[in-house]
Structure 1
């Protein structure tokens, strides 16, 4: 798969995660909060989103500077949480 195809796949994953995040947040608003399981899932979705955005940024930067974007790797949550780009 070429770099663009992999980037598209990451963007598709981001889109799915954003949709799930919206659904959970809407449910939270309707129900005046979320149960423990949904709260955990929302947190997991937020972490996955941070990781996906970070991976996409890494791939784009490597491409821009003539490096192999396939060398980009998912970083642990502790490195990407709260990333301010």
Structure 2
């Protein structure tokens, strides 16, 4: 996956996240299906941002960005800030 594709995916996920959050505000919450989808979108966004950072770091330090691997959701979600 190339940087441009990851950035496009991030953009689409951000739009979906906004739509879900707007819906939540208008409706006073989300039904269980939409809550589950919002969580999936948030996790996927974390994975995409992580992959993009990994690719850019490899490129910056002379590595091949195409060797960067997407990390499992549970690993990305448990990173410490």
Identify whether the pair has TM-score above 0.5, normalized to the shorter chain. Answer: yes
Tell me the SS of whatever aligns to 1:38: helix
Partner in structure 2 of residue 55 of structure 1: 51
Say whether 1:68 aligns with 2:64: yes
Alignment of 1:5-84 (within 5 A): 6-81=2-77, 83=79, 84=81
The number of aligned residues is 80
Bigger CA drift: 74-83 or 11-20?
74-83
Q: Please identify runs of 4+ aligned residues in structure 1 that moved more than 6 A.
A: none
Superposition RMSD in Å: 1.3
TM-score under structure 1 length normalisation: 0.89
TM-score under structure 2 length normalisation: 0.93
1:82 to partner: Cα distance: 5.7
CA separation of 1:26 and 1:82: change in aligned 2, threshold 3 A: farther
Gaps of 5+ in 1: none
Gaps of 5+ in 2: none
